[in-house]
Structure 1
């Protein structure tokens, strides 16, 4: 009975989680983000500012913030968390 209830509950609930990806420049943050999103490795340019994407996995929504890692952008990281 518990498994049935869990399955029914998962059909009607949409969880949302926010994820902030931070790290030094050229660490692979954007590559990891797009690996989750498209399930493939993409070649990217350095992130200026941020990228925001939504990844959905089993009715769970992840709002993923990928922040640029350049030294001049690091001072803005604390505004995101």
Structure 2
């Protein structure tokens, strides 16, 4: 799986004219695939790791006196009313 991922990375670099490094999601997918994890389990672990990261970020923001802004309710969203 790592060879395939690196091949995709090289192909993208050739097509785009410069390096396009794999992001953390791609690297995590390679690790899970190399470990032989079934896709549903890998998806669950991916979601779990993202959730832990979001919780840590929220906790850090609270410790610094900030707040996390979540999605706004549909009726409260801003709408662009100017020219396109």
**If the TM-score is normalised by the length of the shorter chain, which range does it land in?**
under 0.3
Larger of the two Rg values belongs to structure = 2
Give 1 or 2: higher strand fraction. 1
TM-score (normalizing by structure 2) = 0.21
Tell which has more relative contact order, 1 or 2 (C-alpha 8 A, sep 6+).
Answer: 1
